[in-house]
Amino acid sequence: MNGRVLVTGATGSMGAAAVESLAAQGIPVLMACRNLEKAAAVRESVLGRHPQADLAVRKIDLASLDSVRAFAEGLKADSVTAVFNNAGVISKSYSITVDGFENTFSVNYFGPWLLTLLLLPKLPPDARIVNMVSLTCRFVTLDETTLRPTERAFSQLGTYARAKRSLLSFSLELARRHPQLRVNLADPGVVASDMIDLGHWYDPLADRLFKPLCKKPVDGVQPALRALAAAEGVRYYVGKGDRAVPRRYLNPALDTRIWAETERLIRV
């Protein structure tokens, strides 16, 4: 792979594992993080093991579209050749961002949507875009109204799943609109990260009983790393392989409607 890979959420479990793996391969990385102190710590730790690594850090808050715009404006053309939309969150309760979006949707969907679109003119035409989705996508349906859940319609896992399903829909429509791009989906499985602490009283118990059964971040991020090296798109990277995007997700008319509604909501 040539060029620098932008990794959002590079301070997280799988984000940091991705940075480490890319650094080990001699691939320059731009770590796009909301917490610069945490980012500096991850960078230092990776540099400790890979002193030659080329790791840049910049701030982005995907829960703020102004922050996304500022990040994109500050990026020099041709400085990045691949984008790994890795950052994500499962909000414990209903909350609204400065832009009026539900927080889980903003971080997992609206933020990456806008970031990717704003970066397109600065990327090579055959840039690689890897979007981190989830097996939870299969349990939900999508329509224009689900992009902005009301407090009544909010549920921790349901809203997360619909945000990831929206990112999946975006990926397919992006690939249709920009056939030269290499857009791919990565599904890490269930990974022992902070994200799967859902804020319940039994989390400490789950840590001891459930987390040991989950994948380690370094394993969970492998599908995404393979997707980042893919010669073409659009494939669904999961487990040790990749396959055609599952039929249950193929609905171009829906993708077009979701795209149009997103454009309207973000006022692109």
Binding status of residue 38 toward ligand NAP by CB under 6 A? yes
Helix axes 111-119, 65-73, angle to 10 degrees: 20
* Tokens at 89, concatenated: 């969150």
d(CA 4, CA 43): 15
Identified binder of ligand NAP from the candidate list 20, 29, 30, 34, rule CB under 6 A: 34
Stretch that binds ligand NAP, among 32-40, 141-149, 198-206, 238-246 (CB under 6 A): 32-40
**Binding-site residue total for ligand NAP (CB under 6 A)?**
29
Binding letters toward ligand NAP, positions 104-123, x by CB under 6 A: ---x----------------
φ/ψ of 204, rounded to 5, equals -60, -35
Active site residue 160: yes
Gap between the terminal Cα atoms of the chain: 31
E strand residue ranges, 22-164? 29-33, 55-59, 82-85, 128-132
Cβ proximity to ligand NAP: between 13 and 262 the closer is 13
Stretch that binds ligand NAP, among 60-68, 71-79, 121-129, 172-180 (CB under 6 A): 60-68
User: Is 9:33 a contact under the CB 8 Å cutoff?
Assistant: yes
Q: Tell me which residues in 138-157 interact with ligand NAP (CB under 6 A).
A: none
E strand residue ranges, the chain? 5-8, 29-33, 55-59, 82-85, 128-132, 182-187, 235-238, 241-244
Binding letters toward ligand NAP, positions 159-198, x by CB under 6 A: -----------------------------x-xx-xxxx--
- Identified catalytic residue from 109, 160, 236, 249: 160
In DSSP terms, which residues pair with 209 in a beta bridge?
none
Residues labelled as active-site residues: 160
Contacts with ligand NAP by CB under 6 A lie at 8-9, 11-15, 34-35, 38, 60-63, 86-89, 107, 132, 134, 188, 190-191, 193-196, 217
